[in-house]
Amino acid sequence: MIQSARFSLRESPRSVNHGRGWTEGHAHRWLRAHGLRAPQPFRTPNQLRFRQADPSEFETFTTLTEDLPTGVQLLDAE
């Protein structure tokens, strides 16, 4: 479980995005250190996106960045 002063995720986030400045290896280590899966990332020009769940299963998404390292975003969904 990932916790911060502003949020607590009881389930795994739906996706974890790492921005510029993060290497794939560094991102994989961060994910594993926080109990998350580290699959092959989906690459965009600005991010490495590590999907934790299939996004087609959800309708709304929330991006969480507070209290996370620079460049890391968690996507939660309903």
* pLDDT over 50 at 5, yes or no: no
Token pair belonging to 18: 């790492």
| pLDDT of the residue at 42 | 94
- Each residue's pLDDT tens digit, 25-67: 999 999 998 888 899 999 999 999 999 988 888 888 888 888 8
Q: What share of the chain is helix, strand, coil (3-state, %, to 5)?
A: 15, 35, 50
Exposed / middle / buried, residue 16 (Cβ in 10 Å: 0-12, 13-18, 19+): buried
* Structural domain boundaries in the chain: 9-77
Closest CA to 69 of 34, 43, 39: 34
Average pLDDT value for residue range 70-75: 92
**Residue matched to tokens 């390292």:** 69
